[in-house]
């Protein structure tokens, strides 16, 4: 009976060791993923001129909804085509809009856009002339992620978020360092005997 208890406790010990190893690997993968996303958003995106904009209204449903995050890339105005969703500030407005281009008129290097929100019954009342060389065009959307960006626009909340991210990276690193087995110099491991 004692041998059965010894086998059960040995199997439980092996299972516990495996679960600890799995948790460590999953933690390392999750931490690496968060770090890569953070670096991509903060470092790579500005270098590649990739932009992010939260969706505020439902004028482009079903393509994207309020709270979604638009990811944009620059496109030269001469390559702009009907069907593209351009992000621009219309005449008489102070905030940028992301609406679908329905028609382009005028000179190719300074076109005049006719746009429409997908959910709107009629085209927009403005005609926007593009004087710049490039315009941001929506390449993808991330559902609900725009809410995070809207939340982070407050300077205090942004500072808290950045501090928490730094503290979590530091804590993860410290835990990883403390759990790593240390080799003592000058000691040799015991020899196995058969």
Q: Which residues participate in catalysis according to the annotation?
A: 59, 99, 124
What's the Cα-to-Cα distance from 35 to each of 38, 118, 164, 169, rounded to whole Å? 5, 36, 13, 8
Measuring CA to CA, which residue among 141, 164, 143, 140 is closest to residue 152?
Answer: 164
Please state whether beta strands 112-116 and 97-105 pair in parallel, antiparallel, or not at all (unpaired): antiparallel
How far is the C-alpha of 108 from the C-alpha of 94, rounded, in Å? 25
Count of all residues that appear for the chain in the document: 194
């Amino acid at each position: 009976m004692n041998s059965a208890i010894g086998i059960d406790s040995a199997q439980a010990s092996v299972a516990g060791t495996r679960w600890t190893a799995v948790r460590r690997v999953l933690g390392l993968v999750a931490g690496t993923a968060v770090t890569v996303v953070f670096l991509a958003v903060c470092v790579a995106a500005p270098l590649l001129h990739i932009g992010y904009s939260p969706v505020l209204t439902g004028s482009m449903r079903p393509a994207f909804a309020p709270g979604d995050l638009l990811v944009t890339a620059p496109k030269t105005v001469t390559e702009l085509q009907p069907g593209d969703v351009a992000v621009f500030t219309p005449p008489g407005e102070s905030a940028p809009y992301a609406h679908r281009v329905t028609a382009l008129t005028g000179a190719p290097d300074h076109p005049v856009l006719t746009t429409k929100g997908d959910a709107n019954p009629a085209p927009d009342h403005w005609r926007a002339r593009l004087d710049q060389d490039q315009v941001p065009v929506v390449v993808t959307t991330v559902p609900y992620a725009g809410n995070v960006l809207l939340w982070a626009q407050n300077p205090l909340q942004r500072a808290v978020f950045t501090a928490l991210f730094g503290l979590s990276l530091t804590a993860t690193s410290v835990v990883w360092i403390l759990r790593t087995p240390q080799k003592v110099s000058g000691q040799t491991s015991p020899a196995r005997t058969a």
